[in-house]
Structure 1
Amino acid sequence: MSKYMIKTNQDRCISCNACEVHCKQKNLVPPGARLGQMVTVGPLERAGRPKIMNLFMPCFHCEQPWCVAACPTEAMKRREDGIVYVDQELCVGCKACIIACPWNIPQWDETAGKVMKCDLCMDRIDRGLKPACVTACTTHALEFVSPNETSRTTRERHGQKMLLKRALR
């Protein structure tokens, strides 16, 4: 399991796309490619009211990444902390990783003739900083957390909501 993940708090997200813009700027992402993208679902009906759900989707940094297994030059790598990244020196642009990824995470950089993907801004992480998308989020809807931490806080928030519902009855 990866040591890191980016979690979206849907109650805070306003679909401003600052996360995408800052990701593109920091990583010099060419037009047409998106290393992380905002996905909007809805409007859906919840409790008789319309609701739009937003989710920022960067790479999932899989435990056993199909993109890494598919790469014939070993340009696609997985670090010990679980971050999956592309070694641009080794990438020959065969696109095997793009085909292998079921979530269409690796992106084609037409200018360079190589693949690029979200690496959680590992250069920033290595300096003790958060990824650019998280730092740029204007409403603090994106959180940079460990998977273990996020499941604990999710359980706590769910418990708090249940207590509040019971108290309001």
Structure 2
Amino acid sequence: MVAKYVMLADTTRCIDCKACEVACRAEWDTPLGYSRDWVKQVEYLNDKGMPELQVFPGRCQHCDDPPCVEVCPSGASWKREDGIVLVDDSTCSGCELCVPACPYDARWLNPVTNTISKCTFCQPRIDKGLQPACVQTCVGHALIFGDANDPNSEVSKLLQEKEWQRLVTEEVNIGPNHYYYTAGKAIPADVMPKLKERHLAGKAIENIVNPLGTIGIGGMMAVFLGAGIKKLVDRRKDVSAKESSHEQH
């Protein structure tokens, strides 16, 4: 049976120690000011009018129906059979069309590689039989990762034992594979996904490249792909120029 990887986050065990963020940064050499995962603090008044604080670990939700894959003009964003959503750096042009398409704000343009970065559930580690870096380092065992299709896995058992919630709304329900346990508390609106334009790429092409509708879909996609290739070539030229300048000095 094909694996179905999911992430569980028990918010009652998270102490916001940031160990997951540090481990992720070290694993992926993430540039300062950016992060593949995060812990969001939400303050609110409970039903008794008393202030409370909830913490929510977050990252790419590896959705069943990811709009980021749908809008990618080069095919760099893709989804594995086991549910993991990835980005092929060798194909990514850095056009950023997928960034606003994500309702969880999980994608960003890496200023070092000029390609899109995001959580991959530490796919290289998973393929070696290891746990994601954030899960391995979580001191409170608030993060649990595994194969939901394996009835003997910890995640399968926990999904049956506790009442888990997902970050979905009536407007945004794209099958996230990230579950949260809050001990029955409602998830604050600040954590919920925001509705984004699923067909941003198509509309951008239609409005910018093809205002009169004279270019076919294939031609429009080729324009975007060509722009991405040009961007990649220009980037390599810039790197070569800097290396040559460095050698001369």
The normalised TM-score by structure 1 is 0.83
The 1:60/1:141 distance shift into structure 2, 3 A limit, reads same
Q: Does 1:153 align with 2:154?
A: no
Cα distance in 2 for partners of 1:66, 1:5 equals 18
Deviates more, 1:47-56 or 1:72-81: 47-56
**Aligned counterpart, 1:120:** 121
The 1:135/1:15 distance shift into structure 2, 3 A limit, reads same
**Aligned counterpart, 1:97:** 98
Deviates more, 1:50-59 or 1:109-118: 50-59
Higher radius of gyration, 1 or 2: 2
**Aligned counterpart, 1:107:** 108
> How many angstroms does 1:39 deviate by?
1.0
> How many angstroms does 1:153 deviate by?
2.3
The 1:116/1:144 distance shift into structure 2, 3 A limit, reads same
1:148-168, CA deviations, whole angstroms, 9 ceiling, x for partnerless residues? 724312149xxxx9xxxxxxx
Cα distance in 2 for partners of 1:134, 1:17 equals 12
**Aligned counterpart, 2:80:** 79
User: Counterpart of 1:55 in structure 2: which amino acid?
Assistant: F
User: Counterpart of 2:67 in structure 1: which amino acid?
Assistant: W
> How many angstroms does 1:28 deviate by?
1.1
1:26-83, CA deviations, whole angstroms, 9 ceiling, x for partnerless residues? 0111112211111111254366764321111111111111111111111111000010
**Aligned counterpart, 1:28:** 29
Matched residue of 1:23: which SS? Answer: helix
- Structure 1's unaligned 5+ residue stretches are 162-169
**Aligned counterpart, 2:143:** 142
> How many angstroms does 1:107 deviate by?
1.5
Q: Does 1:53 align with 2:61?
A: no
User: Counterpart of 2:116 in structure 1: which amino acid?
Assistant: V
Identical counterparts, % of pairs: 38
The 1:139/1:112 distance shift into structure 2, 3 A limit, reads same
User: Counterpart of 1:131 in structure 2: which amino acid?
Assistant: P
Q: CA RMSD in A?
A: 2.2
Cα distance in 2 for partners of 1:5, 1:51 equals 28
**Do the aligned partners of 1:75 and 1:88 also contact (CA within 8 Å) in 2?**
yes
User: Counterpart of 1:151 in structure 2: which amino acid?
Assistant: L
The normalised TM-score by structure 2 is 0.58
Cα distance in 1 for partners of 2:79, 2:161 equals 27
Matched residue of 1:73: which SS? Answer: coil
Deviates more, 1:137-146 or 1:19-28: 137-146
> How many angstroms does 1:120 deviate by?
0.2
**Do the aligned partners of 1:67 and 1:98 also contact (CA within 8 Å) in 2?**
yes
**Aligned counterpart, 2:70:** 69
**Aligned counterpart, 1:19:** 20
**Do the aligned partners of 1:18 and 1:137 also contact (CA within 8 Å) in 2?**
yes
Cα distance in 2 for partners of 1:92, 1:153 equals 44
Q: How many residue pairs were aligned?
A: 156
Matched residue of 2:160: which SS? Answer: helix
Task: Report the structure, 1 or 2, having the larger strand content.
Answer: 1
Cα distance in 2 for partners of 1:128, 1:70 equals 31
